[in-house]
Amino acid sequence: MEAVLGMLVISAGVSHGLETSCDARENGSQCYGALGGTVYLQLVTDATRYDQLSFLKGSTGAKTEILKTKKDKWVIRDTPIRVHFFINNGTFRLNNTRSTDSGEYLIETFNSVGLASGTRGLQLFIEAPVSSPQLSSECLSHGEMRVFCSSEGDGPQYSWTLDGQTLRDTETSPGEETNTITLKKGLSGNLTCTIRNYISSDTVSRRILPCPGLIYVTCTLSNGTKVSEWVNATGNTLCVEPTTVATVTVTEAPVSKTSTGTGFNVFVYFQLAEVFILLAICLGSYCFYKKKTCPQEQDDVE
């Protein structure tokens, strides 16, 4: 019956995804398993060497017995399809892992008279594997670029490289890993984000180009300061010397406009002609009158 159960567990475990294994023969071992997957824990080298062995969950207080062996017999306290024990090599297998499987465990061995011969503890962590990461980016006001690396999973850790060179965000503390990184102005190349936890890892890469609208400015100012960096093309004043500009307000006086068309000239000429004619008539009349009256005056004198 036990052999049949073992075959069923093996076939079921194949469909549950990731498999992990851990050597738990040292006291205080830390082991990791994938959520919904299969984890192998090597508890002892050969269980047949012990008269009795117990595998329990919980280190203090109430403990739950999961597995118990005596000589070449073993008994499980969980659903048979989830748990199996390979007595010849001392390996415990847990299928279809759950988050509730995380915790502290004890391995107790006993001699032939039932006295404890040794106790060891281990910690089991069940984590969700990381998903395929996605990259997104945004340009900042000073021409820098902030890149985001997103993924799902338990306890993800991130690392960054640009053209194979390790990058670290200047805004984080040494050794701290973050899912965002800020690239300096003008940086370009093949950016890679690697995400991992104790269960799995994955990477994503993308070619990064400088933010649009950047220009490379290089000059030496009058005070000897050298400027050489990428800046936004719009509103760039890095290499513009400060100057004092006088503001002059010009007020235009009103200007009288005089027409000089040909129609105006003819009108003036007619007026002048009329004046000239009137003067000529007056002068002629005066002379005519003088000639008529002059002889009479002479006769009177004589």
Query: Which tens digit of pLDDT belongs to each residue from 119-128?
Result: 899 999 999 9
Which stretch of 149-163, 191-205, 260-274, 275-289 has the lowest confidence by average pLDDT? 260-274
Residue 121 CA to chain centroid, in angstroms?
A: 43
3-state secondary structure of 184: coil
State the Cα torsion 168-173-175-180 to the nearest 10°.
-40
**Rounded average pLDDT over 57-82:** 79
- State how far the Cα of 95 lies from the Cα of 37, in Å rounded to an integer: 6
Structure tokens at 66: 């999961």
- Tell me which architecture the domain covering 2-127 has in CATH: Sandwich (2.60)
Cα atoms in the Cβ-side hemisphere of radius 13 Å centred on 191: 24
DSSP of 114-136, one letter per residue? Answer: S-EEEEEEEEEEEEPPPPPPEEE
Look-up: residue for tokens 């027409």? 259
Residue 263 has pLDDT above 60, yes or no: no
Residue 20 CA to chain centroid, in angstroms?
A: 33
- Asked if 92 contacts 74 with a C-beta cutoff of 8 angstroms, the reply is no
Query: Which tens digit of pLDDT belongs to each residue from 141-162?
Result: 777 889 999 999 999 999 999 9
Structure tokens at 242: 């400060």
> Where exactly are the structural domains of the chain?
2-127, 134-208
Structure tokens at 11: 């076939």
* Amino acid identity, position 279: L
Residue 261 has pLDDT above 50, yes or no: no
- Tell me which architecture the domain covering 134-208 has in CATH: Sandwich (2.60)
- State how far the Cα of 151 lies from the Cα of 205, in Å rounded to an integer: 14
Other Cβ atoms less than 10 A from the Cβ of 19: the count is: 15
- The pLDDT-based confidence of 253 (bands split at 50, 70, 90) is very low
> SS in 3 state form for 151-171?
CCCCCCEEEEEECCEEECCCC
- State how far the Cα of 18 lies from the Cα of 39, in Å rounded to an integer: 8
What is the tally of helices (H) and strands (E) in the chain? 2, 19
Query: Which tens digit of pLDDT belongs to each residue from 169-223?
Result: 655 444 456 889 998 888 889 999 999 999 999 999 999 988 877 677 788 888 8
Q: Which letter does DSSP use for residue 298 in this model?
A: H
* Amino acid identity, position 145: M
CA quadruple 122, 128, 133, 139: dihedral sign:
negative
Per the prediction, the chain carries an average pLDDT of 76
Cα atoms in the Cβ-side hemisphere of radius 13 Å centred on 189: 16
Q: What is the pTM of this model?
A: 0.59
Pairing relation of β-strands 38-42 and 19-23? parallel
Share of the chain above pLDDT 90, in %: 35
The residue with greater pLDDT, 258 or 169, is: 169
- State how far the Cα of 149 lies from the Cα of 191, in Å rounded to an integer: 11
- State how far the Cα of 92 lies from the Cα of 207, in Å rounded to an integer: 46
CA quadruple 13, 156, 21, 120: dihedral sign:
negative
Other Cβ atoms less than 10 A from the Cβ of 43: the count is: 24
**Rounded average pLDDT over 70-86:** 78
Look-up: residue for tokens 């994938």? 34
Q: Which letter does DSSP use for residue 119 in this model?
A: E
Domains 2-127 and 134-208 are alike in CATH topology = yes
Share of the chain above pLDDT 70, in %: 72
